[in-house]
């Protein structure tokens, strides 16, 4: 008998012994638990627990009893494995829902031995029994991240959850495709899975409520190449969040605690202030914010052009405010400037060679360079802000173009990442 099998047998026998001390005055269903813990010195101990019932139908389950006893006797111990047993259970005995949550909070990688009255058992992980355990956002990092990885990880991971049972999905992640909406990320993941037969897994999909601008992360795998699909919300803050936190999660997933991500491509939508047809796929070759300009990675941009020679190239303005990007008066200045001033604003950028306006390309390059990863951006033109025939600015948004073509830039991005990373 190997060490693990011997350990499991001892745990089940201890759980059986613990069940004899249960007090089940109402149900008559006596349960015992044996919890394996490791103290701060690295020594392992087995802690027993048994259910205790009262006549007002309030009870303590065996699993929770064992957890409480372990916390009392071995503060700051690591919870490793638990066995549960009842002589009245002829099938595998599973923890109740409340205990599953308690076990998940103690260790998201808990192993659970579910015993039968004849002494046989089956082993499950807590992820098998509780795939979507609840965890407070503000306590997730300190409770789950036990290894002393860089301190900045604890600061960064506040929007993307730390899911230890899914962290392996992010191991050796090499590239990212990022989109604005989690709904689009979800569509893209399904599109790759169904139409390109790529293995696609969901790390997290947080969408709903009054807005679809939350955070999602999916992973595609093809021939040992892992590429993530993630949502970034709107604006520069969203870009910083997604790069900082996914880089940190990626470092957490890798055994050497170093990020393996080498490149990121943003796939989005944009409006144009040049004479560009709706539905065109626009490649950013130079990106401005209100004060500065920067460039995407030259090699990655060249790879995109080789992948799709039909791309239209041009400079892009990552406007500070969403309404500016729409060609309208910036919302902080509504009622303070007239339409002529707004037109002058757009003409000034047009004179500098700007072809399209959105909110993130400049900041993508800025933050990617800080993380030493290659970046590039492309998107489908869904809004026409300029009419060459009349030399005037218009507000023309085409929802049909967005619906029909919003995934095409991401397909190009995926092919380019494959060529760039392999």
Choose between 132 and 210: higher pLDDT.
132
Choose between 225 and 151: higher pLDDT.
225
Contacts 24+ apart (CB under 8 A), 137-145: 137/161, 143/105, 144/108, 145/252
Beta strands in 209-280 (DSSP E): 211-222, 225-231, 263-272
**Mean pLDDT, rounded, of the chain:** 85
Separation between Cα atoms, residue 111 and residue 94, nearest integer Å = 12
Report residue 154 as tokens.
């604890």
Q: Which of 111-125, 167-181, 225-239 has the lowest mean pLDDT?
A: 225-239
Indicate the pLDDT class of residue 141, thresholds 50, 70 and 90: very low
Contact call for residues 113 and 45 (beta carbons, < 8 A): no
- Over range 122-131, report the average pLDDT: 89
Separation between Cα atoms, residue 68 and residue 181, nearest integer Å = 43
Give every strand in the sheet of 78-85, ordered side by side: 44-50, 32-38, 78-85, 111-115, 121-125
Contact call for residues 346 and 385 (beta carbons, < 8 A): yes
Contact call for residues 130 and 104 (beta carbons, < 8 A): yes
Residues 52-110 have pLDDT tens digits of 999 887 889 999 999 999 999 988 788 899 999 999 999 999 999 999 999 988 888 88
Residues 265-284 have pLDDT tens digits of 999 888 888 888 888 999 99
Q: Could you tell me the CA-to-CA distances from 279 to 11, 317, 381, 398, 400 in Å, in that order?
A: 64, 19, 5, 9, 10
Residues 95-107 have pLDDT tens digits of 999 999 999 888 8
In CATH, the number for domain 3-129 is 3.40.140.10
pLDDT at 272: 87
Choose between 252 and 264: higher pLDDT.
264
- Over range 338-344, report the average pLDDT: 69
Whether residue 325 has pLDDT greater than 60: no
Whether residue 8 has pLDDT greater than 80: yes
Indicate the pLDDT class of residue 115, thresholds 50, 70 and 90: very high
Whether residue 234 has pLDDT greater than 90: no
- Over range 355-362, report the average pLDDT: 90
Residue spans per domain, the chain: 3-129, 163-421
- Over range 341-348, report the average pLDDT: 77
pLDDT at 22: 95
Indicate the pLDDT class of residue 40, thresholds 50, 70 and 90: confident
pLDDT at 373: 94
Indicate the pLDDT class of residue 328, thresholds 50, 70 and 90: low
In CATH, the number for domain 163-421 is 3.40.50.1580
Whether residue 208 has pLDDT greater than 70: no
Report residue 7 as tokens.
């350990």
Indicate the pLDDT class of residue 215, thresholds 50, 70 and 90: confident
Same fold, 3-129 and 163-421: no
pLDDT at 140: 34
pLDDT at 160: 81
Whether residue 194 has pLDDT greater than 60: yes
**Contacts (Cβ under 8 Å, ≥6 apart) of 421:** 174, 175, 225, 227, 262, 263
> In the chain, what percentage of residues exceed pLDDT 90?
49
- Over range 207-229, report the average pLDDT: 80
Q: Are strands 392-397 and 354-358 parallel, antiparallel or unpaired?
A: unpaired
Separation between Cα atoms, residue 18 and residue 4, nearest integer Å = 21
Whether residue 386 has pLDDT greater than 80: no
Indicate the pLDDT class of residue 184, thresholds 50, 70 and 90: confident
């Amino acid at each position: 008998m190997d060490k693990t099998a011997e350990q499991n047998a001892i745990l089940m026998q201890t759980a059986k012994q613990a069940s004899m001390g249960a007090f089940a005055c109402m149900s008559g269903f006596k349960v015992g638990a044996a919890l394996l813990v490791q103290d701060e010195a690295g020594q392992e101990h087995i802690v027993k627990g048994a259910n205790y019932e009262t006549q007002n139908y309030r009870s303590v389950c065996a699993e929770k009893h064992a957890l409480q006893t372990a916390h009392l006797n071995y503060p700051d111990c690591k919870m490793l494995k638990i066995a549960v047993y009842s002589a009245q259970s002829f099938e595998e005995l599973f923890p109740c829902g409340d205990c599953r949550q308690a076990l998940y909070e103690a260790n998201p990688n808990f192993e659970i031995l579910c015993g039968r009255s004849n002494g046989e058992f089956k082993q499950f992980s807590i992820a098998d029994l509780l795939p979507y355990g609840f965890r407070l956002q503000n306590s997730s990092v300190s409770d789950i991240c036990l290894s002393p990885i860089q301190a900045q990880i604890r600061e960064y991971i506040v929007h993307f959850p730390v899911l230890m049972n899914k962290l392996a999905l992010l191991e050796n992640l090499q590239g990212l495709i990022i989109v604005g909406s989690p709904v689009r990320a979800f569509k893209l993941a399904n599109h790759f899975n169904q139409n390109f037969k790529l293995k696609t897994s969901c790390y997290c999909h947080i969408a709903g409520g009054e807005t679809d601008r939350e955070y999602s992360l999916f992973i595609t795998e093809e021939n040992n190449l892992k590429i993530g699909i993630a949502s970034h919300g709107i604006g520069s803050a969203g870009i910083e969040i997604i790069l900082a936190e996914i880089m940190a999660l990626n470092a957490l997933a890798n055994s050497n605690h170093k990020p393996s991500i080498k490149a990121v491509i943003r796939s989005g939508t944009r409006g144009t202030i040049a004479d560009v047809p709706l539905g065109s796929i626009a490649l950013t070759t130079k990106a401005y914010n209100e004060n500065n300009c920067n460039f995407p990675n030259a090699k990655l941009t060249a790879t995109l052009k080789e992948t799709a020679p039909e791309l239209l190239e041009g400079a892009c303005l990552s406007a500070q405010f969403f309404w500016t990007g729409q060609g309208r008066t910036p919302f902080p200045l509504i009622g303070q400037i007239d339409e002529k001033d707004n037109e002058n604003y757009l003409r000034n950028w047009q004179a500098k060679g700007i072809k399209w306006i959105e909110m993130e390309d400049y900041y993508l390059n800025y933050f990617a360079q800080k993380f030493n990863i290659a970046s590039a951006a492309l998107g489908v033109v869904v809004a026409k802000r300029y009419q060459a025939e009349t030399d005037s600015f218009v507000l023309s948004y085409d929802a049909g173009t967005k619906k029909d073509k919003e995934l095409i830039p991401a397909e190009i991005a995926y092919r380019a990442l494959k060529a760039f990373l392999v």
